[in-house]
Structure 1
């Protein structure tokens, strides 16, 4: 996700998904990583008409989101929107984290809630 600001005072900027950044306005664009390589948007960013600030979460392309979901055993359709994939990934990762913590606790291994899913999976691999 990225926050995209239009610094122009008169001209709205249309994005490929149909959303519009109004003059002087800022909108959240979940799929910015997919649009950022487009020549016309790149021109606006280079010239300072569009200012892009990365969101709180790491931006993943649609392909990366689909790959991460597949690695977690979830198949998704190729026509799924990036924001839908991001939401689904967050849900699946949260459930996987809860399940991994429960499995480790069953084995007598205490872990905090601040560990990542990858760290939990590595710990599970150490204790089959």
Structure 2
């Protein structure tokens, strides 16, 4: 139990990922699925940034001599997550654009209703 309290950023990231995953899997509304995907993205970003953080660490800019590896925060997870955020935003924009087009074509954003309509078209 103490491990969960010490690593509360990682614990929060795991809980957020679970919330996003259940939202993605159990809702038929496409907007809710996109929101679930965004929650999962945010959880992953939080997890990796928390792993790269060092308590009391400084930015890896060497001034007044090198202080040792453990004194500096690792910049790689932060840089990777910055790239991930850009990818997540573009994926969200693309998914929302597809949702708008699906709504224009089928008149709904409910995935089950869209699949029923597509099934009826294929039967004819």
Q: TM-score, normalised by structure 1?
A: 0.30
The structure with the larger Rg is 2
Pick the structure with more strand per residue: 1
Pick the structure with more helix per residue: 2
